[in-house]
Amino acid sequence: MASMRAMVLERPGSPLVMRERPVPTPGAGEILVKIAACGVCRTDLHLVDGELPNPKLPIVPGHEIVGRVAALGAGVEGLDVTGRALGERVGVPWLGHTCQACVYCRDGRENLCDAPLFTGYTRDGGYATHVVADARFCFPLTGSSDDAETAPLLCAGLIGWRSYRVAGEGQALGLYGFGAAAHILAQVAAWQGRRVYAFTRPGDMAAQSLARSLGAVWAGGSEETQPELLDAAIIFAPVGALVPLALKAVRKGGRVVCGGIHMSDIPSFPYRDLWEERQIVSVANLTREDARDFLAIAPQAGVKTTVTRYPLVEANAALADLRQGRIQGAAVLIP
Ligand SMILES: [Zn+2]
Ligand SMILES: [Zn+2]
């Protein structure tokens, strides 16, 4: 039997370990994907650190997967919408499965499904040579873009895009935490003619200069004051203390969007900072519609990702570098 390799989390708080396993067989409605690249997302860090409730254990993390279809399960071939062909390049995102029956699924909000599966959290993900995925939740990746440079679009891009849409149409947009998601979104926002204000860790000159090079009109530390009030702010850094800071940076009626799955506690703040119809909202997961929209827009906007490649076996080093803020753009694992 053919075997595959995977970096496995057996217990939160412990390093990933390399394991050999038989290559899985796709079930009905599933595909087997031979992985070419998998992005490293901050959510993976939260998973490894035990900050996300009830992961499947052991679990293979990773939900920014680019690969090629290596086998089809029953019923996949010939379906109009979900039909995938052998050898086709596909992306496998965080949203791995939804029930299609709960009130959220029926209401066009499958990102909030009551019985979902998430790639690399509650079903095995892409820190591996192979993965099995629900064919209906994979996306064809056309074009000739580099596999590693495409991988970050699958989460940083998609959930960034959902956050961006929730932020509204305002022209002055703040991005707090200039990592994988912000470095993609800044390009889309600048392409749409918006004014991007990039807030980084104080003193992170490398991130600030990356932000300016990608179209930000201003970049500074999170405690600095930008030259105009913002219409909206998106917080990608997992730092609750940024919420009251961002509220002070938005104008009346402005919106603060929390784009991550986990954040440290939000400190208390005076009600007057929320007054005048300022809003705080969170964004959870993605819908397949978000993915289709964003994957169409990214090439039009000329989105180019900045990636650092790591061999699969170096996954722990990639996570450590992400934790320490040593990565410009996005880290990507190559099996
Ligand atoms: Zn559902
Ligand atoms: Zn992610």
Whether 27 has a pLDDT exceeding 60, the answer reads yes
Query: For residue 108, which ligand has an atom nearest its CA?
Result: 1
**pLDDT band (50, 70, 90) for residue 84:** confident
276-319, pLDDT tens digit by residue?
A: 999 999 999 999 999 999 999 999 999 999 999 999 999 999 99
Report which of 235, 164, 171 is spatially closest to residue 198, judged by C-alpha positions: 235
Centre of ligand 1 to C-alpha 123, Å, is: 16
Enter the tokens of residue 113: 């499904």
**pLDDT band (50, 70, 90) for residue 78:** low
Query: For residue 105, which ligand has an atom nearest its CA?
Result: 1
What is the pLDDT averaged over residues 28-52?
A: 96
254-268, pLDDT tens digit by residue?
A: 999 999 999 999 999
CB 181 within 8 A of CB 157: yes
Centre of ligand 1 to C-alpha 52, Å, is: 20
Residue 21 identity (one-letter amino acid): R
Centre of ligand 2 to C-alpha 128, Å, is: 16
Per cent of the chain over pLDDT 90 is 93
157-214, pLDDT tens digit by residue?
A: 999 999 999 999 999 999 999 999 999 999 999 999 999 999 999 999 999 999 999 9
**Per-residue pLDDT at 80:** 46
Mean pLDDT for all residues in the chain = 95
What is the pLDDT averaged over residues 217-246?
A: 97
What is the pLDDT averaged over residues 116-143?
A: 95
Q: In 196-287, which residue ranges form alpha helices assigned H by DSSP?
A: 205-213, 242-249
Centre of ligand 1 to C-alpha 95, Å, is: 11
Give this prediction's pTM.
Answer: 0.94
Query: For residue 160, which ligand has an atom nearest its CA?
Result: 2
Centre of ligand 2 to C-alpha 275, Å, is: 32
The C-alpha atoms of residue 148 and residue 144 are separated, in whole angstroms, by 12
* Least-confidence region, from 74-88, 157-171, 218-232, 306-320: 74-88
Centre of ligand 2 to C-alpha 64, Å, is: 7
Per cent of the chain over pLDDT 70 is 98
Centre of ligand 2 to C-alpha 156, Å, is: 6
Q: Under 8 Å CB-to-CB from 169, ≥6 apart: which residues?
A: none
Centre of ligand 2 to C-alpha 249, Å, is: 26
Centre of ligand 2 to C-alpha 155, Å, is: 5
**Per-residue pLDDT at 143:** 80
CB 24 within 8 A of CB 32: yes
Query: For residue 107, which ligand has an atom nearest its CA?
Result: 1
**Per-residue pLDDT at 148:** 98
101-120, pLDDT tens digit by residue?
A: 999 999 999 999 999 999 99
SS3 43: helix
Centre of ligand 1 to C-alpha 97, Å, is: 9
In this structure, the chain runs to a length of 335
9-23, pLDDT tens digit by residue?
A: 999 999 999 999 999
Centre of ligand 2 to C-alpha 119, Å, is: 10
